[in-house]
Each structure stands twice: as structure tokens, then as C-alpha cells.
Structure 1
Amino acid sequence: MGSDRFDVLREQVRGQVLEEGDAGYEEARHVYNGMIDRRPAAVLQVSQAADVMAAVRFARGLGIDVAVRGGGHSAPGFGTVDDGLVLDFSARRGVRVDPAARTARVEAGATWADYNHATHAFGLASTGGIVGTTGVSGLTLGGGIGYLARKYGLSCDNLIGADVVLADGSFLTASEAENVDLFWALRGGSGNFGVVTSLEFRLHPVDMVHVGIIFFDASTGASVGAAYREWIAAEPEEMGAFLGFHQGPPVPFLPEEWHGRPVTVIVGMWTGDPDAGPAHWQPMLDAGEPLGSFFAPMPYPALNMMFDGLNVPGLQGYWKADFLRTLSDDALRVAVEKSPGIPSIHTANHFYPIDGAVQRVAPEATAFAYRNVNFAPVIAAQWPEASENEANIAWVRGYWTALHEFSEPGGYLNFQDSDDQSRIEETLGSNYARLAELKAKYDPDNFFHINQNITPAPATGAQATPPAKKASAPPQRESVDLQPGAGSDAAPPEAAPAS
């Protein structure tokens, strides 16, 4: 049984409050990344927005940190916190589709598998990642890259409204019609401004798609990548496909001798007329000597869930990210050089195209400022054994350092890890100053700081107030003490639900 410390909260909420020793606490305290091992004082399994309002007020009164968990995929583990209160939305996964208006209202714990299942029933979709178990809210608040980005923009570009609980426990709705400044900040500013309890999206006609997966020897990745770079730029926006470097997965269309060996892969889908799909994929089949390939028409949700089996909870994980103006020969050379060190078949080293509709949104139109780059690379390393953490983190850092030489200063927020806090201003770019001002407006005490944190802008002039107590920093990796520069090739990761 729990202590009496949280009895007042229990009386104020409908959801269950779990403390250490309670049945379900051990399961509830964990997030996807097995490297994260934190022990919150309590976990509130949220039942409704009123629970969140009460919990925020309670935590402020008690003087404890709050972490918010949607899908739980946050690489830095922002969905949990030592000695604080976790708001767990995993039971709030409803999706209501309005097919006439082509909109969907989504609860904060929904995953993209939940979302796509609901919207596909009406032949509709919007941009949402490449893994079905990723949380809708966390991905969207940090931007939201996926197969449909070239055609329909980022996830946040399709957001049309959100319900939010602020740092004082009050509730409001943000949209183009009300609380417009907060709505602007939510679209790329991540979890800095409040707890998002539901989101509303614009939907588009997406039903059957023509899926393609092509494997090549990783040693040919520079030439294959150069061909991909020219091909994707010339393809209509109905083609959404990324370039990746992996260990060969155990799939039937890749010869067994390539399972576990470094491969280059092209993965994506053609959303136009499915019968036209083969012709659009042919140039990439001609780009080298494929080791194996798979092509088939299938429902869009099937592709979005295809790699869920490689992204199981409990793996050790460490991520790095950048933005690239172009997929240069130098960037491809680095990817090929680093491919022999890929830690496991669970590691995803991808270069995502973010041109087309993404670039038709002005940098100042949403908080997501990087609208003039063509690719978002991620080194999302995952592996089973904690004993390999130091070596694999060193590999990621070494890879990122080599790649960053040819990259922009910032990187995609959702792909950054806890030690990337120093990059937040560069990542948010030209919009950082405005975001800091809005942080000061909506969360002046930095109550929501278990995230890629935006520091509130200081008050000025007659409205200045005494400085607020400095919030504790976001939690860092506690299981590996590896500083930038350690290792032979090493170099210098919300409180709206984290994905």
C-alpha cells in the first residue's frame, strides 16, 4: 500500500495513484528506453483532464517535479522522474474521427497505431512517424516527421487545436481562433508550455499505398545514397521514402547471409495511384545491385507498424540528430564509414526527407523553424545488453561528430537526447527568443522542465518580478558516465506527453 503522502491527491482524482510497493508501480515507472531507471514518488494513471488539473496544483504545493508520459518513447526518458509525480496517459488512447470535416480528436496517450487504425476506417490519415508505438502527442509537439511529410507537412502542421493544462492548473484550448500564441508555441516547442490532454488534427485522403523496401550492401551506400538524393528530389510529393543504414534484419526477402550485416536500405511508399507505384520505384532498383526487395500495395497503417517488432520496450537506447541542407557526398561517406559499427538490428540510422509541403510553411509560422533544410538524419541506436552501453554510446557520439561537420547547427528535437540541452537554442533557431517569451508568459517558474527545456525569458521594466526559484535540470543519463570525447572515436538527450 502507498503512504499517506498522496492521500489528498487520491481524493481529488479519478485515476489511480501508484506508489512504490503498490501493485503495478514497477510496470508503471518504466519507459521504453531500458537505460532509464528512475523511481518516481508516484505515478498517476490519468483518467481525465480534471485529474491533470488537480495533479499539477498538488505537485506545485508539494514542491515536486512533474513528468508527463504519452507513448513513453522519449529517448532521454522524459516520461519519468526520480522522486516526482508522473502523469501517465497510457490509458487515454481514444480517437474520434469526423469523416465529414476530415478531422480527428485524439487523447494524449494515443499511439500512431491507435490513430491510424481509427482514421484508416474512413480512408484518411495525417503525417505520423514510422513506428506505430510512438505517441501521437510527443511526436507532434516536437514537429513530427513521417512518410507523409513531403505531401502533407509535419504532424504539427496538421494540428488544428489542443486542450492544455497550464502550470497553475488552469485549463484552456489553443487553436488558430483562441490562445493563438500558445498554439504557435505548441507546434514545435515540445512540452514546455503545459500538459496537452487532447489534440485535434486535419486529415487527408490516404488509403492503400504502394510500399517499397530495397536492400543494398552498405559498402555501396555512397553511390546508392547519391542516386536516392537525386531520385527523391525529382519524385512527386506522393513519394515518401527514407534512406537508412542498418544491420540486415531477418526478413524473408533479404538473403540469410546478409542478416546482421551492414546494409543500406530505402523504405517508403507511393501514395498516388497504386498501379503507378512500380514505375516510380524502378529508378532505385536500377541504382545498384539490390540484395533483396519487397514491393506490394498495402493499407497505410500496415507500413506504419511494419518495424514495431524491432522497437520493443526495454532496449538500451541513445540518440543523436542533425539537419542537413543536402545529403552531401561527405555525409554519405561518413554513413558508410560508420556502418560497420551499427550496434544491433534494433538501431535505426535514417535520413528523412523534409522538403515539399514542409518547406511551404514559413519558418515563423510555427515554432518549428528549420524549414529550409532537405533532410533530418537520426542515429537512433538501440541494443539489448547494458554491458555494451559505453562502447555503443561512444560509437553514436563519434558518428554524430563526424556527420555534424556537414550539418546545420540545430537538430530535430524529437531525436535529441538528454545531453543535447545545450543545443536547444540552435535547434529552435530564429524562433527561440519568442518561445522564451511565451515560456515566461505561460510557465514563468519553469515548472515544466522535464523536457528539452526552454528557459523563460527574464522579466523586464516595471513588470519585473523577483527571480523564480531555479528549477532542477532535466535528468541526465545515470547509468553511463561517458563524457564527450571519451572512447577511441567518440566526440563531443515534455511536459506535454513525451513520445
Structure 2
Amino acid sequence: MGTTLQELREQVRAPVITADDPGYHEARTVHNGMFDRRPLVIVRAEQVPDVIAAVNYAREAGHDLSIKGGGHSAPGFGTNDGGVVIDLSLMRWVHVDPRFRIARAGGGATWGDFNYATHAYGLATTGGIVSTTGIAGLTLGGGIGYLSRAYGLTIDNLLSADVVTADGQALTASPTENEDLFWALRGGGGNFGVVTSFEYRLHPVDEVYVGLFFYELEHAGALLRFFRDFIPVASEAYGAFPSFQIAPPLEFIPADRHGDTLCAAIVQWAGPLDKGEEAMQPFRDLAPRVGEMVGPMPYPALNAAFDAIFPKGIRSYWKGSFVTELTDAAIEQHLIYGPKVPEVSATMHMYPINGACHRVPAADTAFAYRNATFATVILASWQNPADDAERIQWVRDYYNATAPHSEPGGYINFMDDDDRSRVPENYGGNYQRLAEAKRTYDPDNLFHLNQNISPST
């Protein structure tokens, strides 16, 4: 194993990109435009041996190591200054076995890649809300999406993973191989190695019935109270969440209302399509709509519906919490801060994670909050750097107001860089076991650019 860049170049077939090479500035970018970092070297891995060589190089040379899948990490963990970046974006393959309803995908695939491949067979698994998100980061954090109530978290559908660990070993983690690593990967984030491929269970999901309902702000309290009562008893075919949203220029919203602050319900029905209209009726009965769009939609189209609002390079900051009971006191705080949403690419979403998610015991995976009903995210995204302080403050104020009415921890994928102190709370009773897995697979904390689990705990 070598510790010079020339030795690294000789060991891999993948592109090895430094500041003197063409494409460096494009290769060093991540989705969040707040991070303008300059790594020493970027290895655009094509195969597992490339990843092994890059991990060994970073370890032996003593460099910081970032893993970039989809590049959507809000804290910019997919890049660094002066260290090594393993970029998996060339490993975007997806292989589908429709007979057994299984798909294996490369660690650099996005949910758009994955859905494109599986949709050809009328199949899907729980993914995220934006299709440009990488499958790796979303899965390793747990995986909350439209299909969570029907089919569980993404990790509940993970069958195995191929991982390169800190010592440069290529391992398979599954229920029968390296079981402790498999347990830790399902919610423990990027703490335990570089996952080069994931194997998932698929479900029969082709077209879904979708409703986008925009209401006047005066109905926001009724909307939140409705969700509080509706979600615990609703059919698991529903994937739905409330939000505060400045009206985008969509055709079904009157032109004179574009730019107005509204509240909204984003509703997905994964049950029989002929029951779709009936499934939308409770949201029509809730209150008069400023605008609505209702109808069948291919699942990949729903998963890509918000992509244009969050383009690569947009600046982002967010925070999240788990909510077991949405109290009246919590709703009061939402009604104060939600209407202050600063622009069309900022929002509050409250994702339901009951249903199938609750049927997995808290100790079965690293994702500890199996009793939570909702996972809330407060997100600001904006283009102008001059707005940084104001946008960040809106998120912090909103979070601080609702935190006393939430669980101590939140979804690891909704944590920002200043949330690292919350890591033990985010894992609750599973944290000690995660620290033990960290000591086994990464005792020197090579993989520390993440929501870090310390091996010294």
C-alpha cells in the first residue's frame, strides 16, 4: 500500500482527480452550494478495488476521508478540504430480478436511477422524496419516504450490503454474514465503511394515486389536527404529509395566488387505483382548496415531483425531530413559525412513520424510534448567500419552538453539522451497541465525516 498520489494512481483504474486535472471543480461540488471545499484528491470509483485502494490510501496517509454517493448530505459530508473523496457516482448500475422481486444497485445510484430500473417491472421499494438523492445516504440513515407506512423504512427492505471497511476489507453484511455490521448499517449512517452495493426487497408498485391540495393558511390548524387524528388509523396505503409552502407557479394554482404562503397536503395512495378518488375525499372535505391536482401518476414521477425546487448548488440548512404525539401545544408553535416560511424552496414536512414501520422492534435495527408517529423536517433552501443568516435563523427558531414538544432525537438524515451533539439521542437505546460496532469495524474513526458515532464511547 502506498501513501503517495502517484502510487494511488498506479493502484486503481478509476479516474484520480486533483486540482491540476480537468474536471476537478465539477467533481468537488456537492448538492448543497454552501460548501465550496477543495479536497486533495477525488477518486471516482468504478469498481470495488478502486474503493479499497482509496480507503487504504486515506488511512495510511492520515487524510480525512469523505464518501460521496448522491452528494445530498446537508452538512456537506461528501467533500472536505485537503483530504480524500471517494466519489461513487460512476457506480450507478441497478440489476432487477422481477421473479424474486429483488434489486441490487451500486452505491452511487440515485433513487431516480433505481426507480427507472424497477418501474419497468411494476416494482418499487421505499425511497425518498427527491429522486436525485443517493440511495446510499438515504438507506444508511433509515430511509423515510412515500411508501414507509405501506412497506416500512428503506432499511426494512434491505436484504444485504457489500461494504469496504476501514481496514480495506470487502465484506458482505446480511442476516447470515457479519450480522452485527448489517444491524449497524441499517440506520447507523456512514460510520462503518463504504457501501458499494445494496440489495433490496421490491413490492408491486406501478402507478399511485396522488393529490396535491393547497389551502388558505387559516386552515393550517385544522390540517395539522386532522393529520394527528387521521394517520394513526388510516389505511397503510396512504403516504401523506402536511406542509407550509409558498405557492409555486403551478398551473392548477390560480396565477394571482402564485407566491402566496399557504398550507398544503401532499397525498399518495398506493392502494387500488379505482379507490384513489375515494382516498382523496377526506382531504377535499377538510377545507376549501386554493388549488388541487389529483390523479394517477407513475411512482417515479411522484418521486421526482420536487426535484426542480431543489437543484444542485442550492444552499440548504435543516433540522428534524421525531414526534410521537402531535400535541395542541406543538401545533400552536407550528402555526407561529410555519407561516413565516421564507421562500418556495423552504418548508416544513411532517412525514408519517407508523404502519409497517411500527412492526419492526426498536432493537432489530439501529433506527431506534419505532414508536414515533411522525418525522418532522424544517428545511430552508435558497440561492443568494446574502440570505444565509436569515434562512438559518428561521430553521433554528422553528426547531427550538417545537423541540420541547418532540422526542429528544430525530432522523439522522435530517441533522445538520451543528447537530452532531445530538447523535446519542438520535439513536436512543441503540447507541451503545452502535459504538461497539464502530470499535469493531472502524476503531480509529477513519469514517468520521458524518453524524459520528465515536468508537471511544
TM-score, normalised via structure 2 length: 0.98
CA distance in 2, matches of 1:6, 1:323: 44
Partner residue in 1 for 2:424: 425
Code of the aligned partner of 1:445: D
In structure 2, give the amino acid aligned to 1:223: A
Which residue matches 1:390?
A: 389
Map 1:298-337 to 2 at 5 A: 298-337=297-336
Matched letter for residue 361 of structure 2: A
Bigger mean CA deviation after superposition, 257-266 or 401-410: 257-266
Tell me which residue corresponds to 1:55: 54
Q: CA RMSD in A?
A: 1.1
C-alpha contact (below 8 Å) 2:223/2:242 kept by paired residues: no
SS at 2:189 equivalent: coil
What are the superposed Cα offsets for residues 424-480 of structure 1, whole Å, 9 maximum, x if unpaired? 00000000000001100111001110000000146xxxxxxxxxxxxxxxxxxxxxx
Partner Cα separation in structure 1 for residue 384 and residue 190 of structure 2: 30
Match in the other structure for 1:114: 113
Amino acid at match of 1:6: L
Q: Which structure 1 segments of 5+ residues have no match? A: 459-499
SS in 1 for 2:51: helix
Q: Given the two structures, how large is their TM-score scaled by the length of structure 1?
A: 0.90
Supply the AA of the counterpart residue of 2:230. W
**Aligned residue number for residue 472 of structure 1:** none
Task: Supply the distance in 2 between the matched residues of 1:331 and 1:241 (Cα, whole angstroms).
Answer: 19
TM-aligned CA deviation for residue 227 of structure 1: 1.5
Equivalent positions of 1:393-472 (< 5 A) are 393-457=392-456
CA distance, structure 2, for counterparts of residue 280 and residue 115 of structure 1 = 27
Contact 1:245 1:335 in 2 (8 A): no
Counterpart secondary structure, 1:296: strand
Give 1:5 deviation, angstroms: 4.7
Listed as ranges, the matches of 1:97-108 within 5 Å are 97-108=96-107
Tell which deviates more after alignment, 140-149 or 235-244: 235-244
Q: Does the 8 Å contact 2:262/2:339 carry over to 1?
A: no
| 1:329 positional shift | 2.3
User: What is residue 380 of structure 1 aligned with on the other side?
Assistant: 379
1:134 maps to a residue whose letter is T
Contact 2:110–2:135 (8 Å) recurs in 1: yes
1:332 deviates by 2.3
Whole-angstrom distance in 2 between the partners of 1:391 and 1:99? 49
Distance 1:260 1:250 in 2: 8
Which residue pairs with 2:67 in the alignment?
68
- 3-state DSSP class of the match of 2:323? coil
Alignment match, 2:13: 14
CA–CA distance in structure 2, aligned partners of residues 340 and 78 of structure 1: 31
- Alpha-carbon offset, residue 171 of structure 1: 0.7
| Conserved? CA contact 1:231–1:283, under 8 Å | no
Partner of 2:257: 258
Aligned to 2:184: 185
Counterpart of 1:36 in structure 2 is 35
Aligned to 1:480: none
1:28-60 per-position Cα deviation (integer Å, ceiling 9, x unaligned): 111010111111001111111100101111111
Q: Is the 8 A contact 1:362 1:371 kept in 2?
A: yes
The alignment of Structure 1 onto Structure 2 pairs a total of residues equal to: 455
Task: Show CA shifts across 1:217-266 (max 9, x none).
Answer: 22321112112222233321011111111111111111222222211111
Shift of the alpha carbon at 1:278?
0.9
Kept in 2, the 8 Å contact 1:228–1:284? The answer is no
Q: Distance in 2 between matches of 1:164 and 1:214?
A: 42
Distance 1:219 1:452 in 2: 38
The residue type equivalent to 1:357 in the other structure is: A
Match of 1:474 in 2: none
Counterpart of 1:497 in structure 2 is none
Measure the CA separation in 2 of the matches of 1:306 and 1:256. 20
Question: Contact conserved, 1:142 with 1:190, CA < 8 A, in 2?
Answer: yes
Contact 1:9 1:58 in 2 (8 A): yes
Specify the SS of the correspondent of 1:405. Answer: helix
Post-superposition offset of 1:204: 0.7
Partner of 1:496: none
1:227 touches 1:284 (CA, 8 Å); kept in 2? no
Partner Cα distance (2:200, 2:267) in 1: 23
- CA drift at 1:416: 0.5
Aligned to 1:46: 45
Q: Which residue of 2 aligns with 1:467?
A: none
2:212–2:267: 8 Å Cα contact kept in structure 1? Answer: yes
- Is 1:24 aligned to residue 23 of structure 2? yes
Does the 8 Å CA contact 1:222/1:329 hold for their aligned counterparts? no
How far residue 150 of structure 1 moved from its aligned partner, in angstroms, is 0.3
SS in 2 for 1:452: coil
Structure 2 gaps, min length 5: none
Q: Distance in 2 between matches of 1:143 and 1:258?
A: 37
Identify if the C-alpha distance between structure 1 residues 178 and 5 changes in structure 2 by more than 3 Å, giving closer, same or farther. closer
3-state SS, counterpart of residue 323 of structure 1: strand
Q: Quick one: distance in 2 between partners of 1:339 and 1:219? A: 12
Corresponding residue of 2:272? 273
Distance in 2 separating the partners of 1:87 and 1:260: 40
Distance 2:338 2:254 in 1: 19
Q: Secondary structure of the equivalent of 2:289?
A: coil
1-structure distance, mates of 2:82, 2:432: 32
What are the Cα deviations for residues 184-236 of structure 1, in whole angstroms up to 9, with x where unaligned? 00000000001100000000111111111100122321112112222233321
Q: Which residue of 2 aligns with 1:202?
A: 201
